[in-house]
Homo-oligomer: A and B are copies of this chain.
């Protein structure tokens, strides 16, 4: 056995082609270690079953050759990949990144690899990635879908590939999903302001065609109705849930006569709240003195705002874990009825409602 570099064949090649070093395969390792192919397979997948001495011999051969097992071949042989795929509607939204983090935690614990794909709010791309994952024979697929018919996902599910939805309830009785109780979030936010004594509330957010916004509004209305007329709720629908839209909301409020302004603002998103707060402060309105403001989403910047923003936090990481758990159940065929797990949002109280600010 030659001890020189294994990367170069000693058969004087006459062909002008590049001496393209073929990646070493198991057979090469077996030959070099002087054992059979099956044994090499065992040291990789079943080390406990092979003799210490053999194991070391093979390990050395692997190291010397720089052998990297071919997952593709492995997957073909075992019939599935030890991998799950996650198609995400919008990677720019930290909420989904949190979910991905949760999924990954559980995947790690289960020794499963997680592959991500960003559909970027594009149905065609979403479908394309779903197909890629199906064709790649991943063990299962997680889908944080965009607001559109999920025919491709259903099709895939019908072909026996486990698909679990995140931030979407799933098809009743046919698939699993993990969602957060948006209505409860809207209720909780509004209730918080009411308990602080606010009585003239304004709900800002939109478009209402977004089911999340609509649910939050429903929750807000329920909280107000419970007060039997002691509290009013005004609705201001916005085009989007952005800081820019929030600036406009704040401007609108500032332009009213002081006694016609709300004393509490329920904002359907932190970005909106941020914009509103910024313009209101700029206009001399005290937050929360004159108007208490609560946001929604617990975006990263909410805590670091001039006036830290009270908000409703979504348990992204926990949702990801829950979704991954459901998926693993389906993958391992653990008997379970398809269900939708609804998680509770969390009230996070900061200065935009309670009044202590960094200036104190």
Report A's interface with B, CB cutoff 8 A: 21, 23, 66, 68-73, 75-76, 81, 83, 91-92, 94, 97, 100-101, 104, 113-118, 120, 128-129, 131-132, 134-137, 155, 158-160, 242-244, 247, 251, 271, 274-275, 278-279, 281-282, 300-301, 303-306, 358-359
Contact = CB atoms under 8 A, between A and B. Distances in A.
7 residue pairs, one from A and one from B, having the closest CB atoms: A243-B304, A278-B306, A116-B116, A71-B135, A244-B304, A72-B75, A71-B136
A72, A94, A129, A281: which has the most chain B beta carbons within 10 Å?
A72
A76 B76 CA distance: 8
A134, A278, A279: which has the most chain B beta carbons within 10 Å?
A278
A115 B113 contact: no
B134 A118 contact: no
A101 to B, nearest CB: 7
Contact of A118 (B100, B275, B281, B359): B100
A298 to B, nearest CB: 13
20 contacts: A66-B159, A68-B131, A68-B135, A70-B76, A71-B135, A72-B76, A73-B76, A91-B91, A91-B100, A92-B94, A101-B120, A104-B120, A116-B118, A242-B304, A247-B304, A271-B301, A271-B304, A275-B304, A279-B306, A281-B281
A307 to B, nearest CB: 9
Contact of A117 (B116, B305, B306): B116
Nearest to A100: B118
Contacts of A160: 21, 23
Nearest to A242: B304
A68 to B, nearest CB: 6
Given A118-B104, A160-B23, A243 B68 contact: no
B282 A359 contact: yes
